[in-house]
Amino acid sequence: MGHRKHSQPRRGSLAYLPRARAKSMEARIRSWPDQEGDQPKLMAHAGFKAGCISIASIDDREKTPNFGKQLVSLGTVVVTPPVVVIGIRGYSKDRYGLDSIFDVYAKDIPKELARLFTAKSDEKSLERAEKSLGRVSDLFCIVAVLPQQAGREQKKPYVFEVAVKGGDVAKQFAFAKDFLGKEVKVDQVFQKGADVDVAAITKGKGIEGPITRWGVKKKQHKSRKSVRALGTLGPISPSTIMYTVPRAGQRGFHQRTQYNNRIMIISNTKTNEFKINPAGGFKHFGLVDGDYVVIRGSIPGTYRRLVKLRSPMRQRVSKVTIPNVLEIMV
């Protein structure tokens, strides 16, 4: 028994193991950036992917070959209905991690939330929460997104936590208290030209073989029994298959986070600033009605799927410049 004489890098990345189906249709955000300054701010918003358009804009990136020239780039339309702040949650931190100290819920919450849970509003809960602010290390707003406001048929809302950053805990609590029970629009969280991180569940492809799933090479056409199978599963000893061996299995429907996607447009269909809807609406989605965001480039996920927008973890620019969008082509 021998081995080949030449070597090459392995096929496929091991950075995304296990390549299994996501547990939920909703992406989880596990880490949050720090906010500079004393002004508290919500660090995320959410929307639903509608479709893609073409954007004609002036390139404002200095020290690039196309600076000052007109560029046509791909843009993804994300319908962003307002999120409702239904509660406030405080965490304390110890050597084992984060522990929830208090939950405060609003009196008037959307009736659709009864499909998920029953939130009890107590008048004294705010007072108890304010007394325990000294033990709080991280403060979050519990927000709800109603898919029906984005033209979806789904009645069950999405509920998740959004971090509040900036200033001390007392300022953050006062900021969250002002928004309790109210709607927050996307332009209250982000601005045009800013970068955002997009977290979503990618489009599922089902079960695929190692050629497509990992990018290994096919064997020659005269190979015995199979062309699209692996040449070897590893050494004879130990008598186990290592996790590094590319195998067939699930491809797609994974959670992915895409960093530093620039917001080109934040608008509403009622302003008639841009004609965003193609004739008959977007394929597999329909007509966009209400607030929307156009993000430069493509983003993970399929149409109608929930997309979470987070303030960037890897800040590229310190100053935000408003993009000069000439026209959009649908």
DSSP label at 163? E
Same-domain check for residues 72 and 193: yes
State which residues form the domain around 284. 16-25+42-80+189-215+244-330
Better-scored residue on pLDDT, 18 or 37: 18
CA distances from 255 to 27, 76, 183, 303 (A): 6, 18, 27, 15
**Residue 3 in domain:** no
pLDDT at 3: 72
Residue pLDDT, tens place only, 201-230: 999 999 999 999 999 999 999 998 899 999
**Can you tell me the distance from the alpha carbon of 112 to that of 290, in angstroms, rounded to the nearest whole number?**
20
**SS (HEC) of 178-207:** HHCCCEECHHHCCCCCCEEEEEEECCCCEE
- CATH number for position 317: 2.40.30.10
Asked whether residue 6 is assigned to any structural domain, the reply reads no
The domain that holds 161 is classified in CATH as 3.30.1430.10
Residue 289 is assigned to a structural domain of this protein: yes
Domain end among 162, 184, 206: 184
Question: Mean pLDDT in the chain?
Answer: 93
| Global pTM exceeds 0.75 | yes
198 and 319 in a single domain? The answer is: yes
- Quick one: 193 and 284 in the same domain? yes
**Domain shared by 69 and 121, yes or no:** no
- Tell me if 172 is assigned to some domain: yes
Q: Are residues 297 and 170 in the same domain?
A: no
Q: Please check whether residue 306 lies inside any domain of the structure.
A: yes
Query: What are phi and psi for residue 173, nearest 5 degrees?
Result: -65, -40
Token pair 């929460």 is found at: 129
> Do 193 and 91 fall within a single domain?
no
Q: What is d(CA 143, CA 159) in angstroms, rounded to the nearest whole number?
A: 6
The residue out of 134, 169, 184 marking a domain boundary is 184
Q: Do 173 and 89 sit in the same domain of this protein? A: yes
In this structure, the answer to whether residues 66 and 163 fall within a common structural domain is no
Domain count, the chain: 2
Nearest Cα neighbor of 189 from 32, 265, 83, 319 is 83
Tell which phi-psi region holds residue 8, choosing left (phi > 0), alpha (psi between -120 and 50) or beta: beta
Residues 105 and 208 reside in one and the same domain: no
Per-residue pLDDT tens digits for 272-299: 889 999 999 999 999 999 999 999 999 9
- With residue 177 as reference, give the H or E element that holds it: helix 169-179
**CA pair distance 144, 81, nearest whole angstrom:** 10
- What b/e readout covers 15-36, taking b as 16+ CB neighbours within 10 angstroms? eeeebebbeeebbebeebeebe
Whether the predicted pLDDT of 107 surpasses 70: yes
- Within 8 A by CB and 6+ apart from 178, the residues are none
Please report whether residue 52 resides in a domain. Answer: yes
125-134, 247-256, 301-310: least confidently modelled range: 125-134
The confidence score (pLDDT) of residue 108 equals 86
Output the six-digit token pair for 43.
């660090």
User: 77 pLDDT band (50/70/90 cuts)?
Assistant: very high
Q: Are 294 and 55 in contact (CB under 8 A)?
A: yes
As a whole number of angstroms, the distance between CA 29 and CA 155 comes to 23
Does residue 11 form part of some domain? no
3-state secondary structure of 286: strand
87 and 69 both lie in a single domain: no
Residue 37 lies in a domain: no
Model pLDDT, residue 6: 87
Same domain, 166 and 272: no
**How far apart are the C-alpha atoms of 113 and 136, rounded to whole Å?**
27
Apex CA 192: angle with CA 191 and CA 197, to 5°? 75
pLDDT, residue 2, reads: 62
Q: Which of 133, 168, 184 is the last residue of a domain?
A: 184
Cβ atoms within 10 Å, residue 91: 17
Residues 133 and 162 in one domain: yes
